[in-house]
Structure 1
Amino acid sequence: MMIGGHGARAPLPTLRAVLASLALLAAVAPASAQGKLDARYEVTLAGIPVGKGAWVVDIADDQYSASASGATAGLLKAFASGSGTGGSQGRVVNGALQPVAYSATVNSSKKAETIRIQLSAGNIKEYAIEPEPPVDPDRIPLTDAHRRGVVDPMTGSLLRVPGSADPVGPEACRAGGAVFDGRMRYELKLDYKRMEHVRADRGYAGPAVVCAVYFTPVAGYIPDRAAIKWLAAQRHIEAWFAPIAGTRILVPFRMMIPTPLGMGVLEATQFVSTATPPRVAKTQ
C-alpha cells in the first residue's frame, strides 16, 4: 500500500486510480493520547490480488510518525512490477498533528521518482520532485494560496474524532480538508454511511465506521486525465475506519472503490494496535 497516490505503478488508468485513492481520506484534526499501529494490507481488483503493503503509525505525546511500503502482486506483477515507500513526520502541538516532512519514492520497470515536501504550521515551505518532470501546459497551475492550509497525504490519512464518546461512530465522518501531494492540491469530504463489524486475520476485531469519500481536484492536475475524471465523479467510494488503541485516531481498515474493471478493495489482513503509556516526569 502507498498513501497519497504514489504507490506501485499500474498498466491501466483505472487501476492507478484505485491505488491513488488509498489516500482519499479526511485531513487530520487535533489528536490525543498515545498509541502504535502495525498493519498489513492487500489490494484486490474484481477479487484478484494486485498489491500488498504495510503501514506503521506511532502517535506519541509530542510527535508522530507514519511510514508505508507497497508493491504490485499476483497477476498485476506479471504485467508491470513496481514498488513504493513513503513516510511522514510531525509534531503534536496542543493536541494537533502538525506535519513537518513527507516523502514518497516510487520504483517501476520504467523509472524511479521521489517526492519531498517540507511543511510548517499547515503551509508548504518547499517541495520537489526528482527527477524534475517536464512542464505540462495542460496542468492547472498551483498558486501560493493552494499551498496553504494543507496536510501531506499520509498525515491526511489519520482521522481524529473530537469529544469523549466512543470515537468509532457517526461523528468520525463529519470531516473534510485540503491535501497537497507534491503535484496536486485536492479537497476531501466525508459523510457517514453506516456501521460494520470487521475482523483482521491478526489483531483488531470490532466495529468500524463507514464513511462515503468525495474527491475534488483543485490545482496541479490535468483535467483531461481519465483517472482524475473518474475519481471526481465517484459517489460510491467507501472508507472503513478502525481505531488505534490508546488514541482518538482512526485509520482505514478497508476502502472500496468502484472501477470499470470491478470493485477495487484495500483491506487490512493485520491490524495490531497497542496503547502506549504516557511518559511520567522524573522526580528527585
Structure 2
Amino acid sequence: MGGLVAAAVPARAQTFQAEYVVSIFGLPIARSTFTSRWTETSYEIQGQVSSSGLAAIFDDTKGTVEASGRLEDKDAEPQRYELDYTSGKKKQWTLVRLEDGNVVATENAPPPKPRRHSWVPVEAAHLADVVDPLTATLVQAASPDDVCNRTARIYDGELRADLSLSFLRKAPAKVGDFEGEGVTCAIRFTPISGYRKGSKTIEYLAGGNRMEVTFARLGKTSFFVPLQGQVETRIGTVHFRVGKISGV
C-alpha cells in the first residue's frame, strides 16, 4: 500500500488526537481535529473540519471524514473511506470501499454531473494499490531518514493523484504541544485521472510550486504524523500547523 501505514503497532489499543489550524495571509480559515485509533490488527481515523475566521463568514463549511482498515502482515489494508460535508448550500457525501488495496465501490451523493470531453476518466487500473487521503497522512518508517522518498497513490472518490515525497531537511521542531525532532518532505502533486484538463487549480498544483510537510514520530511507535506544512495556491500560500496533541 505504498508503505504509508504499516506497523510495529502496540499490543494494546492506542489513541492519538491532534488539532490543526489552517491559515492564509496569517488569518485562520479552518480548524480540524483528527483522532487515530489502532490495535495490532486494525486502525481507524476520524476527523472533523470546519471553516473559521473570515472564511466562515463567506463560506461556512463543516464536515466529517473517516477512514478504517486492517493491519495485516505489517501492511495497511484500507477498507473504508467516508466524507460528509456541507459548504454553504452545497452538500456532498462520498463513500469508498476497498479490498486488498483496490477500490471495489464508490458512492457519491449527489452523483457527479455529466462530464465534458476534457474530463480525464478514472480507469480500473488507476484504482489498484491506492490509499485514501486520511490513511496517507500516517507514515510508517523505521527512522526519520526513511519518512520521505515515497509515493502515495491517493483516491478520494473522484480524483486519483500521486503525491511523491522527497527529503528536504531534518531539524528540531517546536510546534504547538510538540517539541522534538522533525523531518520535512517536499511534495510533488501529479494528477492521474478524475479531473478536467485545463483546470487552472490542477495545473497550478502540478506545476512544481512549493508544497512541503513536516512530520514527527508519534510517541515510541513507528508512525510519523504531520506537524505543519504549506501549499502554494493561486491565491496565496496556505499553511497548517498542529496545536493541541494528546495520545501516546
Q: TM-score range by the shorter chain?
A: over 0.9
Alpha-carbon deviation of 1:29? 4.4
CA–CA distance in 1 between the matches of 2:35 and 2:166?
26
Select the structure that is richer in helix: 1
- Structure 1 residue runs without a partner (length 5+): 1-25, 275-284
2:123 pairs with one of 114, 135, 143: 143
8 Å CA contact 1:42–1:266 kept in 2: the answer is yes
- What does residue 12 of structure 1 align with? none
Matched letter for residue 137 of structure 2: S
Query: Match for 2:62 among 62, 80, 83?
Result: 83
Q: How does 1:39-188 map to 2 (within 5 A)?
A: 39-137=18-116, 138-162=118-142, 167=143, 169-188=144-163
Matches within 5 A, 1:249-268: 249-268=223-242
- Structure (1/2) with the larger strand percentage: 2
Aligned-residue RMSD, C-alpha:
1.5
1:73-113 Cα distance to aligned partner (Å, 9 max, x none):
10111111111110001011011111111100110112211
Is this contact kept in 2: 1:256–1:265, CA < 8 A? yes
Q: Determine the C-alpha separation between the residues in 1 that align with 2:244 and 2:197.
A: 37
For CA contacts below 8 A with separation 6 or more, give which structure has more relative contact order: 1
Q: Runs of 5+ in structure 2 lacking a partner?
A: none
State the aligned residue count.
Answer: 243
Q: Report the more deviating stretch, 92-101 or 33-42.
A: 33-42
Matched position secondary structure for 1:233: coil
For 1:29 and 1:37, locate their aligned partners in 2 and report how far apart those are by CA, in whole Å.
Answer: 15
State the distance in 2 between where 1:181 and 1:256 align.
Answer: 20
Please report the TM-score for the alignment, with normalisation by the length of structure 1: 0.82
Q: Distance in 2 between matches of 1:132 and 1:152?
A: 19
Specify which of 203, 207, 224 is matched with residue 233 of structure 1: 207
Q: Please tell me whether the aligned partners of residues 5 and 135 of structure 2 are also in contact (alpha carbons under 8 angstroms).
A: no
